[in-house]
Structure 1
Amino acid sequence: MHVLRRFLARVAGIAFAILVIATINFMLVHAAPGDPALVIAGQSGATDAKFIEQVRAEYGLDQPYLVQLGTYLGRVARGDLGYSHRQRRAVSDLILDRLGPTLLLMFSAFFLSLVGGVMFGAMAGRRHGKWSDLAISLVSLLLYATPVFWLGLMLVLVFSIQLEWLPAFGYTNIRAAGYGAFGYALDVAGHLILPAITLSAIYMAVYTRLMRSSLIEVSHEDHVRTARAKGLTEGAILRRHMLRNAAVPVVTFAGLQAGALIGGAVVVETVFAWPGLGRLTFDAVTARDYPVLLGLFLVTSMLVIAVNLLTDLIHRLIDPRVAAR
């Protein structure tokens, strides 16, 4: 019963958070300058006053603000995200078409940055004060200071243009449909490497420095000194007594960085022509496609919530004290 109550409380909290997020998104988009009716009318190819009034009446834009908000929240509760007049498609269909590539890129970058940050941070912390620690710290600092778009362009220049090892842009090769399932997966993986490295680099640098500091701090705790006094090797001490404790703040911080990870995907997808939600967001902003923007803001907010739930699960796996609560 205790576990069930905690689960129901978590579900209720998530539902409330989505309601608040949808409300704030609606307020922010409608606070932007300009008349949505003029935008819709312009996309339809007519701008006379009578047609604009018809558009306002058809989409409820002539209703009071609170009525519009209530109508929007009701549609969201039913899973209706609206209709894009610019692209002549339902917003949910547009988002579903782009959701898969974004999820693939985002979770690949999340996994790569987390695993790489823990691994390199552990190497630097274990060799504290040595040349390898200095080298890892210097590289992580350079990665943190490097703009994402510049790093992406340099990777394309080196690995795609100069060495011709990896594809530069896109999601698949134009001939990928005839490769078969395994060949198609390999083709997508080849196109994924450069965007995933670009998106994960800055976060890997942060996690590396955080893991290094955390490991150095854990190495001076009583249980580690006791393990050394018992004669355990340094490798066994690192695996059994240090890594899990030192990784806890890294995993916690990774969950907080989920929103920034999705925001960085907008830049990376634009640089690599990756057909995900980031490029769709960029196109919707430039075209002032309000229904698509509202749908994207809501879906990306839900992705942040999902990544935080995943982080909590990982946190419970590596820290038994959290799981026991």
Structure 2
Amino acid sequence: MTQSRRIFRSLLRNFLQAIPTIFIIVTLGFFMLQLAPGDAADFMAAEAGSATAETMAQLRSAFGLDLPLLSQLGSYYAGLANFSLGHSLRYGMPVSELIMQRLPGTITLMAAAIVLAVSLGLLAGTVMGMRPGRWPDRILSVLSLLFYSVPAFWIGLMLIVFFSIRLGWLPTGGGYTLGAKLSGLDWFVDRARHLALPALSLALYYVAIYARLVRASVIEAKSQDHVRTAIAKGMGRYRLIRVHILRSALGPITAMVGMHVAGILGGAVVIETVFSWPGMGRLAYEAILSREYTVLLGILIVSALLVIAMNAIFDIVQSLLDPRVAVR
């Protein structure tokens, strides 16, 4: 079977597996969200300052919140069958449009965090593995343990204090400079400055994991016969690392990144809240406060699909990096 056919079958299998996964996520998520006190009507009344019992009843009736739970769930499934994620009471717009406004921000943050985590993990792990037991290995090991032990939100707050408040180099939050009409390179630089601290805060935890993984892979690769032969033939250090050592380390890292996609997406909820980043994580936090269960279910569905899609992509990337790993 050709590689392209295997890739197609892998994508088709992931798509078919996504259907029961979404069904289970929606069902469990719906009933778990019902355990929280209050609903969107209660929040709207509290936000308005007061509301009569008749007004509350009208709100619940208008949005189907007074129906039995099974009827509400059946109505939601009927909407999904028509490719509708429902309507947001607070924002007054379809949930799908609301999520699509925030989805690019979350994908950008996740992509930047993954690139940073893999790049810094490869660099630190290679340095540690090439000189095990030496002072670079010891220092980077301590830093890795530190980043692994400290919560991401605390790292984010410390980065704000140091780089934003003390040095004034980077903004404290947001996705762009409000009121600035930028274009071209200036627009890109402004977005990159706002993205730097959230992406770094989200990435540092995974840098520690990937650095230790690369260190072990480098030490193992150095003991292999083909690497010893290359060293005996006088191959330069940097070419040796690039051609023989890093190639063997990329496979395990790719597999781990695929496993960590869900964790990175979950961590984005906290980081987006700390940095006021306009993404799905912050939207989920706002939806929890306002008891917008329809919005939360929509975010759950889109998040699950995003995780499934990224895992499928990383499976394919891993098979391309390492021919010994076949796409099934």
TM-score by length of 1: 0.88
What is the 5 A alignment of 1:56-95? Answer: 57-61=61-65, 63=67, 65-95=69-99
Q: Does 1:154 find its partner at 2:158?
A: yes
Partner of 1:17: 21
Specify the alignment match of 1:197 in structure 2.
200
For residues 89 and 58 of structure 2, the distance between their equivalents in structure 1, rounded to whole angstroms, comes to 15
Would you say 1:103 and 2:107 are equivalent positions?
yes
Q: How does 1:150-189 map to 2 (within 5 A)?
A: 150-177=154-181, 179-189=182-192
| Structure 1 CA distance for aligned equivalents of residues 221 and 256 of structure 2 | 17
Aligned to 1:136: 140
Tell me, yes or no, if structure 1 residue 125 matches structure 2 residue 129: yes
Aligned in 2, Cα 1:241/1:82: closer, same or farther, shift over 3 Å?
same
Q: How far 1:165 moved relative to its partner? A: 1.3
Contact 1:38 1:47 in 2 (8 A): no
Q: Which 5+ residue runs of structure 1 have no aligned equivalent?
A: none
Deviates more, 1:70-79 or 1:121-130: 70-79
Q: 2:263 maps to which residue?
A: 260
Label 1:83 to 1:319 Cα distance change in 2 as closer, same or farther (>3 A): same
Provide closer, same or farther for how the CA distance between residues 260 and 186 of structure 1 changes in structure 2, counting only shifts above 3 A.
same
Match of 1:310 in 2: 313
Letter in 1 for 2:115: F
CA distance in 2 between partners of 1:323 and 1:242 (Å): 21
Contact 2:11/2:312, CA 8 A, preserved across alignment: no
Local SS of the residue matching 1:257: helix
Letter in 2 for 1:155: L
Listed as ranges, the matches of 1:275-314 within 5 Å are 275-314=278-317
After superposition, the C-alpha distances for 1:26-50 in whole angstroms (9 at most, x for unaligned) are: 2322343446665677678886555
Structure 1 match to 2:30: 26
Does structure 1 conserve the Cα–Cα contact (< 8 Å) formed by 2:122 and 2:211? Answer: yes
Cα distance in 2 between the residues matched to 1:230 and 1:149: 49
- SS of the residue aligned with 2:16? helix
Query: Aligned runs of 1:204-223 on 2, under 5 Å?
Result: 204-223=207-226
For structure 2, the 5+ residue unaligned runs are: none
| Equivalent residues of 1:169, 1:273 under 8 A apart | yes
8 Å contact kept, 1:118–1:208 = yes
Aligned in 2, Cα 1:78/1:219: closer, same or farther, shift over 3 Å? farther
> Which of residues 231, 237, 241 is equivalent to 1:238?
241
* Letter of the structure 1 residue corresponding to residue 316 of structure 2: L
Task: Please tell me whether residue 250 in structure 1 is matched to residue 253 in structure 2.
Answer: yes
- Give me the whole-angstrom Cα distance separating, in 1, the residues matched to 2:12 and 2:91: 39
> How many angstroms does 1:5 deviate by?
4.4
Q: Give the RMSD, CA atoms, in angstroms.
A: 2.7
CA contact (8 A) 2:110 2:265 kept: yes
- Checking the alignment, whether the CA contact within 8 Å between 1:99 and 1:277 is kept in structure 2 is yes
Q: Which deviates the most, 32-41 or 148-157?
A: 32-41
The separation in 1 between residues aligned to 2:269 and 2:192, in whole angstroms, is 19
Please say if residues 131 and 137 of structure 2, whose CA atoms lie closer than 8 Å, have aligned partners that are also in contact: yes
Sequence identity of aligned pairs in percent? 43
Higher RCO (CA 8 Å, separation ≥ 6 residues): 2
Judge which range, 162-171 or 233-242, deviates more.
Answer: 233-242
Q: Tell me, yes or no, if the aligned pair for 1:214 and 1:247 is still in contact at 8 Å.
A: no
8 A contact 1:39–1:288 mirrored in 2: yes
